[in-house]
Structure 1
Amino acid sequence: MAESKPTLGYWKIRGLAQPIRFLLTYLDVDVNEKRYGTFEEWQADKLNLGLAFPNVPYLIDGDLKLTESRAILRHFARDTALNPNTADATRTCDMLENVLWDIWFGLLRYCNSGVDPMKSYFENEIPKKIGYLNTFMENKKFILGDQISYVDFILYEILYHYTTYSAEYLDKYSVLSQYKKSFEAIPAIAKYISSEDYIKGPCINPMAKIPF
């Protein structure tokens, strides 16, 4: 009997699960997706899945039950070429992962609330961080140079979020703008983007104060 496929559960949006979807596509890992369209659908499942910390996204693969988006991303990257293979590369990925999370949540918190102090932080502090990131990525194909890592999938999705929020957002950051285009041209990624399974949007909860 064929083994059942893992199940990835999340909302019918890009959100925090999209880097996982891209990484699975890149690694050619086949999963079943359960995409929740309403809060009520999730509530009906939430406490019946055996998750230690019920949340979405979640991964169920036999006895393995895992939540938290970055834990799931690392799970699939582990033992593949997407996992950093030196101490220096690991430290770089650890640092960038945290920097990127700050940049991503600066946008998400502002758009979900639409109010200060999130607005002030988004408008005054986030551009500085993105500027540092733009400089860091100069002369690099990927975060680790020529080697793609699991953190690149987070970076791409953040850039997609920002340009969906404002199409001109990356105009001042030419390195990141080119990175986004190059990532989309990776054959496996380009194929996925053109597939019926691909979610173009929304990126965040449609009920957010500033949805996109």
Structure 2
Amino acid sequence: GPPCLGLLPCSGFTPAACPLLEYTGANYEEKVYHFGDAPDFDKSQWLDVKFSLGLDFPNLPYLIDGDHKITQSSAILRYIARQYNLCEKVRTWPQGKLPPYQLMANVSFFLSQEVLKIEYLEQLPGQLKLFSLFLGKWTWFAGDKITYVDFLVCDVLDQNRKFDPCCLDDFANLKAFLDQFEGLSRIAAYLASDRCQPYPIFAKIACWGNK
């Protein structure tokens, strides 16, 4: 059967996997696991099957493609990229270098701690400047052809743009990059379809991006 992508109904926990699969034109299925409402946020729908899927490191998201069973978002992206010749060739992307996603997640889950939000927004321009300088005048982040890296970066930039709509105002090349990416025919079709669910970004337990 087609590859199966297991995920939560939160765009922040499936970074770039769906857009990448859509871009390749791959036939794939989604298995969405829903958590319950407050106060318990029941996770039994996932926990009941977590250790029965044959995953080496059971977690969400996962990708099952025949005998290949993969967890961890970046590993899933690299696996898909290898299948469709979308790995870096001209420039090597420094692994792990993204606007501080974990800090953003912390802010989103503990937004009542206003100091976290202030700290995040204070350091964000410096992080985005590094991305702007790395992209420079290149068309894509890893060279002159699109790679899985662009899907990963686009996802994180878009989440930051939702958190702070003005955060890219001083970075014309990053805004142009997002416009170019979202204008790709298959990506534009996906973004306009009911398969694309930009919200919620995080799980129900979060204080921001949970609706």
TM-score, normalising length from structure 2? 0.87
Counterpart residue type for residue 173 of structure 1: F
Aligned to 2:67: 63
Match of 2:190 among 189, 192, 198: 192
| Residues 19 and 73 in structure 1, CA contact (< 8 A), matched pair in contact too | yes
Mark the runs of 5 or more structure 1 residues left unpaired by the alignment.
none
Distance in 2, Cα, partners of 1:79 & 1:200? 26
Rounded Cα–Cα distance in structure 1 between residues aligned with 2:179 and 2:89:
26
Give me the whole-angstrom Cα distance separating, in 2, the residues matched to 1:55 and 1:193: 26
Identity level (%): 29
Using the TM superposition, name which of 126-135 and 180-189 deviates more.
126-135
Classify the secondary structure of the residue corresponding to 1:170: coil
Aligned-pair Cα RMSD in Å: 1.9
Closer, same or farther in 2 for the Cα pair 1:117/1:14, shift >3 Å?
same
Residue in structure 1 matching 2:4, options 3, 7, 24: 7
- In 2, Cα distance between equivalents of 1:166 and 1:16: 19
Contact 2:59 2:72 in 1 (8 A): yes
Unpaired runs of at least 5, structure 2: 36-42
Per-residue CA distance 1:83-123 (angstroms, 9 max, x = gap): 1235xx2xx22x1x4211x4322322221223377445413
- Aligned equivalents of 1:133, 1:13: Cα separation in 2: 25
Q: Which of 21, 25, 39 is the aligned partner of 2:22?
A: 25
Distance in 1 between the 2:16 and 2:5 partners?
Answer: 12
Question: Contact 2:15 / 2:73 at 8 angstroms: preserved in 1?
Answer: no
Q: Which has the higher contact order (CA 8 A, sep 6+)?
A: 2
| Comparing 153-162 and 138-147, the one that deviates more | 138-147
Q: 2: distance between equivalents of 1:197 and 1:79?
A: 22
Aligned residues: 202
Distance in structure 1 (CA, Å) of the matches to 2:49 and 2:61: 13
- Structure number having the greater helix percentage: 1
Instruction: Check the 8 A contact 2:142/2:149 in 1, yes or no.
Output: no
Structure 2 counterpart of 1:161: 159
- Structure 2 distance, partners of 1:78, 1:209, is 36
Equivalent position to 1:112, from 82, 103, 109: 109
Moved segments of 4+, more than 4 Å: none
Counterpart of 1:6 in structure 2: which amino acid? P
AA partner of residue 161 (structure 1): Q
Distance in 1 between residues matched to 2:100 and 2:110, nearest whole Å? 16
